[in-house]
Chain A
Amino acid sequence: MSEEHFIGVETARPDAPDKVSGRTQYVHDIAVPGMLWGAIRFSDHAHARIKHVDTSAAERLPGVKAVITAYNTPEVRIGFLRDNFALKRDKVRQYRDEIAAVAASDPDTAREAASLIRVEYEPLPGVFSPEEALVEGAVLVHETDARGRPRADNVVPVRFAHHSGDIEAGKRASKFIVEGEYTVPLIQQSCLGTAGCIASFDARGNLTLIAKTQIPFLVQRDFNKALEALGLEGRNVRVVVPALGGGFGTGLDTHAYEYIAMLLAWRTGQPVKILYNREEEFAYLSPRQSATSRIRQGCDENGKLTFREIEVVQDNGAYTSWGATFPSVMLVPATSLYRVSNISFESKIVYTNNTYCQAMRGYGNPEITWPIESSIDELAEQAGMDPYEMRLLNCNQPGETTPMGLKITTCGLKECLDRTAEKLDWGTNRGKGKGVSRGFGMASVINVAGGGKIYRSDGSGIILKLDDYGNVNVSYGGVEMGQGLHSALILTVAEAFGVKPDQVVINQTDTATCPWDVGTHASRGAFMACNAAVMAARKLRQRLFEWAEEIYPQQVEESLTKARKHNPEFREPEFDWRAAASRDRFELADGILRVQGAPDRPELQVELGRLLRAIHFRKQGGGTTFAEEAFYEPPTDLPDWERGYGNMSATYAFGTQGVEVYVDEETGEVRIVRLVAAHDVGRVLNPQTLRGQIYGALAQGVGYALYEEVHTDKGRVLNPGFTDYKLPTACEMNFPIHIELIETNDPEGPFGAKGVGEPGLVPTAPAIANAIYDAVGVRIRDLPITPEKVLRALKHQRAGSPVR
C-alpha cells in the first residue's frame, strides 16, 4: 500500500513487558524519602452546616504530624467555576466533602486519626435530583456564586445550545415524528489503578507533584495559583506523571485530595502521599454524571430526516467540574450525526447534593448518541423502513459542512454501515426476532478525531533529542494511560525520522522537561503527538542532513580505506558519492544514512550513531548535538458556545457497531451473541493498540449498556466497590467481536490517522437496545438495560399495557 516501514505493522507495545512483569511504577509503588501519608475526613451528611470541628483526639494520636482544616489553612478554590474548596469551612454539600485532613507516619495511623476528628453539623434538607433541585423554592446547594453574589436557583451557570434551520418548518415537512425520554446512569470510570499523588516541597517553596493526571500543564497552572494562596508567588509546581493505571477522564481536573496533599506537605515540611483505596475511589472521586434527554426527530415520507430537537438535563452534583461541559461535545452528534438541517439543542446542568461529576471517555457523546440512535430506530419503524436503510439515506458525506459548522473532510460512515450490515447478514437476519428471541441492531458514531478545541490552544509540543548512539528521546507532554499512545508515537517517530522503533525512547511526562500540551482527552493524544512528531522529525532530518554534507564523505572515505586494506578483492564503487553527498539527496531509514542512487555497498552507508559521534566529536572542533522541538496546533476553531457553532476538530471519526443478541424472555436476560465494530480510523498506525482501544471501549460500552450503575440513596453511594458495581467480566465479553477498520487516509492526520480513543464505546448501548427491540419488541430507554427492566417491559407488553 505504501513504502512505509512501520506504520500499520503489528508491533508489540513498548510498555507491555514491564507491565506484565510488575516492573512498571504506578503512584502506588512510589515512595520518596521522609514521606508521610495523608488521609481525609469526609462529610457525614449530604447537606449540612459545619458547626464545629474538634481535631484534638486526632492530634494526640502517636504518629500524627499535622491535622488541617479550613480554619487553619489558606483558602484554596478549585474547579473552573471556583465553586469548590480544598477544605470546606461553613457547609458540606455532598457526602464526599473534605472537612479535615491528617498527615501521619503511615497510612493506617492517618486513616485512624481522620476517623477521630469530631464534626458537629446542623443538617440541612437536600436536593437529590435535577427535578427536586429545579422546584420553585428548592433548597439552594450554593447560596452565592464564587464572587459572593446571591444565587436564585440551582442551575449551573454554563450554557451550551444550538439552533439552526427552522424546527417548525421541519415538523411541517415531517410525515413521521417520534419522541422519547432517555436516561443514562451515574457510572464510575473504574480505573484499575486508583487515584493518588505525592506532594513534596523543596526548601525554597517549589512543589513537585507526582500526580495521576491527564493534564499536567493545566494542573501546573491550577497549582501555581494555589501556591499563591500559600504566599508562594513566583514559586513553581513541577508536575511529574507516573505510569497510569487507567485514566478514562478521571485525570481531567484537579482534585481536592491533591491540594490537601500540598497543604499537608507545606504544613509538615515533608513529602505527603495520599492514595485512595477502591471504596474511596468510588465514594470520593468524580464519576460520569447521569442525564435525561428528551428527543424528537422526524422524517419525510421517503425517510429523509427533517428535524431533530433535544433537551438534556444533567445532574451536576454539588460542585462544577468538566462534567458540566459535556453538552459541548453532545453538540457534535446532536447537530452532525447524519444529515439533518433543522436542529434545536438545549441543555441544563443542575446543582444537587449528589456527588459532583467529571469527565469520562466519550465526554457527552455516549449520553446523547443513546437517545439519537435509539430514536432513529423508532423513527424507521414508524416510517416502515429498515433502520439500516434510513441511516444510509441520511448518511454523512465527505466534504460536507454540518449545521454546527463541522467541516467533514474524510468520512467512512457509509462503508462502516455497509460493512456492519454485511457482516451481520443484516438483510436476511434482521426483523425475524419475535418467536426466536434473537435480534439484530446497529448504531453509529461521529466523534472528534483531530483534537477538540475547548481551550485557547488545542496544541501539543514535542522535543526530539538524539543521543550519540542514534537513539531518539522523545519528550511529549501528553499522557500514556494505557491507551497505547507511546506505541503510536514510537512508530511515527521511527517512520518519520528514519530509525528503528527500538531506537525511540519516550521520556516520562514531566512539566519540567516536556513542552506544553493541553492534555490527553478527546481522542487527541496520538493525533496531536504524532503530528507534532512528524514536524519535529522533519526539522531534525533537515539539520542532520546539513551536517552530513561535511561528515558523510569523511566517514565513507574512512570505510573505503579500511575496506581497501582488509579486502584483497576490493573494487572501487562506481558512484560519485562525493558529488551525491548533498542535503537533498540523503536518505535516513532504519538508522542508516545513505544517498539516493548509491549502489547497495556497506561502505557507502553510515550508521546513525557513528555519524552523530563524528559530528559531535568533529576533528576540527565545533561539533554539535541534536534536539528539535515542534508545536502542532490543529487548524480548528474555538466554538461559540452560545450558538453552538464552530469547527472544533481537524477531522472526525465515524463508526458503526452492529450486534446480535439473544433475549431470555422468561428472565429478561440479554446475551450478546456477536458484535461487529466498523470504524473509520483514518489510517491504522499500530493494529495491535488500535484493536486494543476498540476492544476496551466496547467492553465499556457493554458495561454502560447492560451492567454499570452507581446507586445512591440521598447522595450516599450504596455500592462503593466491585462487589456491587458490576463491570462486564471476561465471561460476559465471551462472544465473537469482529472489528472492521476502514481507512480513509485523512489529509490532516499523521500518516492519515484519526483519533480512535473514544468512538468505540459510543454506539454500543443503542446498538444493543435496538437489537433487543428487534428480538422481543420492547424498547428500554434507561440504561443500564438490566434483566429486570426487560422482563418488566415484556410483562407489560404481554398484558397489552404501555411500558411506562
Chain B
Amino acid sequence: MAYEYHRSGSLEEALVLAAGDDSALIAGGTDLLVALRKRKRPAPRHMVSIRSLPELAEVSEQAGSLHIGAGVPMADVLANTVVREHLPALTAALAVIGSRQIRNVATLGGNLCNASPAADSAPPLLVYEATLELAGSSGRREIAISDFFLGPGRTVLRPGEIMTAIRVPLPGAGAQSAFLRRSRVAMDLATASLAAAYTARDGKLINLRLAAGAVAPTPLRLRRTEAFLEGKPVAEETLAEAAEIARSEVAPISDLRGSEWYRRELIGVFLSRALRPRSTRMKGSA
C-alpha cells in the first residue's frame, strides 16, 4: 500500500492534483484507509489530502443558512452552538458516529462522499434539505443533497471534483427535528436510521420531511409517507398507517447487521417515535 501523499495548500492546487491520473482525495481517511486495508479498492498512486484546505475548514452562519466546510472534523461540527441549537437531528446523528477518536478526524464531506447507505449524517441533511457545494477543474456548482447519491459508494461527483461545503438552511421558529437509529453495539454502523423534520401547528404536521438510512441503496427521502402525513393530526392510527407506508417505501437488504424484515420494522418504529408527542413516547426509546 505505497502511495504518494500530497498535502495541498489551496483548493486550486488540490483540484489540479485530484485531476491527475490514479489519485484519490483523502479527508479523515476513516473510510478510505479501512477500504484500502481490506483491499476493497485498489490503492491509488497519489493521495491528495484536503483536510487542511482553508476553503473547507470553516463553519459560519450566512443569510439564514449554516455553511459547514466539507473538511471540518465532526467533533468540531458537533461542538458548534448553532448546530446544537438549530439542528438537533444532525447533532444526534453526529454524536453517535463511531467514537470520539473517529469524530476527531472524520469529516462531514467524507461521510457524504463515501456514499454509504448507512452514512449517518445523510438522513438529517436530507430532511434539512441541505445544498452541497462542489468545485471541479471546470468550475463550481451546487446540488441539492437529494440529487447527490446514486447508489452504494456512488454519487454525482465527477472525477477530481471536491465537495467544499454543506449549506444547511436553518429551520424557522417552531420547527422540530429528530434522528433515530439502532446498531448492534456501540461504534457500529446503523442497522437502520430515520430523520424527521416538521412543524406542529394546531396539532397537525406541517412541512414534514422524512429520510431513512441503511434501508435502501442510498439514504432516501420517504416522500410517499411525507405526503400521506402532511397536514394530518398525529393520532396513533394515523401513525400506524404511516408506518406501514414507510415500511413499504424503503427497500432494505438482509445482511449481518439485520434482516430486511427487521429493518422495515425499525423504520416503522422510528417513524412513530419521531412524530409521537414526547409525553406519550415509550420509556427507554431514544
Contact = CB atoms under 8 A, between A and B. Distances in A.
Contact of B186 (A437, A732, A791): A732
A583 to B, nearest CB: 61
A662 B284 CA distance: 8
Given A662-B284, A711-B256, A719-B256, A667 B266 contact: yes
B232 interface: no
A731 B186 contact: yes
Contacts of B187: 729, 731
Contacts of A711: 256
A667 B184 contact: no
Contact of B282 (A666, A718, A787): A666
Interface in B168-193: 182, 184-188
B186 A787 contact: no
A707 B184 contact: yes
Interface string A651-674: 000000000001011110101000
B244 interface: no
A788 B257 CA distance: 10
A724 B187 CA distance: 11
Contacts of A791: 262, 265
A467 B266 CA distance: 67
A671 B184 contact: no
A788 B265 CA distance: 9
Contacts of A727: 185
A726 interface: yes
A729 B185 contact: yes
A728 B273 CA distance: 26
B29 interface: no
Contacts of A666: 269, 273, 282, 285
A718 B262 contact: no
A726 B284 contact: no
A746 to B, nearest CB: 38
A730 B100 CA distance: 13
Nearest to B258: A788
B269 A667 contact: yes
Contacts of A718: 256
A667 B192 CA distance: 11
A726 B269 contact: no
A437 B261 CA distance: 23
B259 interface: yes
A711 to B, nearest CB: 6
Contacts of A724: 256-257
A788 B273 CA distance: 18
Interface string A715-736: 0001100001011111110000
A732 B186 CA distance: 7
Contacts of B182: 667, 669, 787
Interface in A730-746: 730-732
B259 A726 contact: no
Chain B CB within 10 Å, residue with most, of A662, A665, A787: A787
Interface string B250-265: 0000001111011001
A478 B200 CA distance: 68
B262 A787 contact: yes
Interface in A518-571: none
Contacts of A662: 284
Nearest to A721: B38
A707 B185 contact: yes
A130 B158 CA distance: 52
Nearest to A709: B256
A711 B254 CA distance: 13
Nearest to B255: A724
Contacts of B186: 729-732
Interface in B237-286: 256-259, 261-262, 265-266, 269, 273, 282-285
Contacts of B256: 711, 718-719, 724
Contacts of A719: 256
A731 B269 contact: no
A727 B256 CA distance: 14
B34 to A, nearest CB: 8
A181 B262 CA distance: 24
A664 B285 contact: yes
Nearest to B187: A729
B184 A726 contact: yes
B185 A664 contact: no
Contacts of B185: 707, 726-729, 731-732
Nearest to B262: A788
Interface in B147-165: none
A394 B188 CA distance: 43
Contact of B284 (A664, A707, A731, A788): A664
B213 to A, nearest CB: 16
B203 to A, nearest CB: 23
Chain B CB within 10 Å, residue with most, of A664, A666, A669, A718: A666
A791 B261 CA distance: 11
B247 to A, nearest CB: 13
Contacts of B266: 667
Contacts of A728: 185
Interface in A754-791: 786-788, 791
Nearest to A665: B282
Interface in A385-407: none
Nearest to B180: A667
A718 B256 CA distance: 9
Contacts of B284: 437, 662, 664, 671
Contacts of B262: 787-788, 791
Contacts of B259: 788
Nearest to B283: A437
Interface string A18-42: 0000000000000000000000000
Contacts of B184: 707, 726, 786
Contacts of A786: 184
A664 B283 CA distance: 8
A305 to B, nearest CB: 37
A135 B123 CA distance: 50
A726 B258 contact: no
A664 B273 CA distance: 12
Contacts of A664: 282, 284-285
Nearest to A664: B284
Contacts of B188: 726
Nearest to A279: B38
Contacts of B265: 667, 791
A326 B42 CA distance: 44
B243 to A, nearest CB: 10
Nearest to B183: A726
Nearest to A788: B262
Contacts of A730: 186
Contacts of B261: 788
A724 B188 CA distance: 8
Chain B CB within 10 Å, residue with most, of A718, A728, A729: A729
A460 B283 CA distance: 55
A711 B256 CA distance: 8
A729 B186 CA distance: 7
B153 to A, nearest CB: 16
Interface of A: 437, 662, 664-667, 669, 671, 707, 711, 718-719, 724, 726-732, 786-788, 791
4 nearest A-B pairs in the assembled complex, by CB-CB distance: A731-B186, A788-B262, A724-B256, A666-B269
30 contacts: A664-B284, A665-B282, A666-B269, A666-B273, A666-B282, A666-B285, A667-B266, A667-B269, A669-B182, A707-B184, A711-B256, A718-B256, A719-B256, A724-B257, A726-B184, A726-B185, A726-B188, A728-B185, A729-B185, A729-B187, A731-B185, A731-B186, A732-B185, A787-B182, A788-B258, A788-B259, A788-B261, A788-B262, A791-B262, A791-B265
Given A666-B285, A724-B256, A791-B262, 18 more contacts: A437-B284, A662-B284, A664-B285, A666-B282, A667-B182, A667-B266, A669-B182, A671-B284, A724-B257, A728-B185, A729-B185, A729-B187, A731-B185, A731-B186, A731-B187, A732-B186, A786-B184, A791-B265
Interface of B: 182, 184-188, 256-259, 261-262, 265-266, 269, 273, 282-285
